[in-house]
């Protein structure tokens, strides 16, 4: 039987997750010229809450909320491995549980979806995120991204 577990994230998880990111996500990051490890390390350092998702004791996801813990707004981020996609129902259930926890402390969550990452876009919509009106598009490296939000 598969074992799913949420544990406090450790800084070294940033390097581990970058090496096994979803193919689509990794391709976009490389195409934009980002250093994936540095980007995730920055997210980790700027987050008030960071958690790791383990499947059979192997890192499958890393995410958190950046911004001050006492603030009403938070920037949510999530990196998943290719292996995590094998468990879509569990992935959605856990994402909802984590967001419910975050929404106890936050009034609004925002996330950034890189252009070309259709999987992340669908996942965000499924979790209740909507695009800002008017849609906010921001330059990210050599590409663009859309800011999405979820309000309590």
**pLDDT tens sequence across 6-19:** 999 999 999 999 99
Q: Tell me the average pLDDT of the chain.
A: 86
- Would residue 29 be called left, alpha or beta, if left means φ above 0 and alpha means ψ between -120 and 50 degrees? alpha
Counting residues of the chain whose pLDDT is more than 90, the rounded percentage is 38
CATH of domain 4-151: 3.40.630.30
For the chain, which residues make up each domain, given as ranges?
4-151
Q: Tens digits of per-residue pLDDT, 105-141?
A: 888 888 888 888 888 888 998 898 988 664 555 556 5
Structure tokens at 79: 């990196």
Strand residue runs (E) in the chain = 4-8, 47-55, 58-66, 73-80, 108-114, 130-131, 137-140, 143-151
Task: Tell me what the mean pLDDT of segment 89-95 comes to.
Answer: 93
Q: Could you please report the per-residue DSSP string of 25-52?
A: HHHHHHHHT--HHHHHHHHHHTEEEEEE
């Amino acid at each position: 039987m598969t074992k799913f577990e949420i544990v406090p994230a450790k800084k070294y998880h940033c390097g581990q997750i970058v090496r096994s990111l979803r193919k689509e996500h990794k391709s976009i990051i490389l195409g934009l010229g980002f250093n994936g490890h540095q980007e995730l390390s920055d997210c980790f350092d700027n987050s008030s809450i960071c958690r790791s998702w383990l499947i059979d004791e192997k890192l499958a996801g890393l995410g958190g909320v950046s911004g001050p813990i006492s603030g009403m707004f938070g920037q949510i981020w999530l990196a998943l491995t290719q292996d995590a996609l094998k468990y879509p129902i569990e992935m959605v259930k856990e994402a909802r549980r984590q967001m419910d926890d975050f929404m106890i402390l936050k009034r609004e969550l925002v996330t950034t979806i890189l252009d070309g990452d259709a999987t992340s876009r669908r996942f965000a919509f499924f979790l209740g995120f909507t695009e800002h009106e008017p849609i906010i598009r921001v330059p990210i490296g050599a590409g663009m991204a859309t800011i999405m939000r979820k309000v309590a």
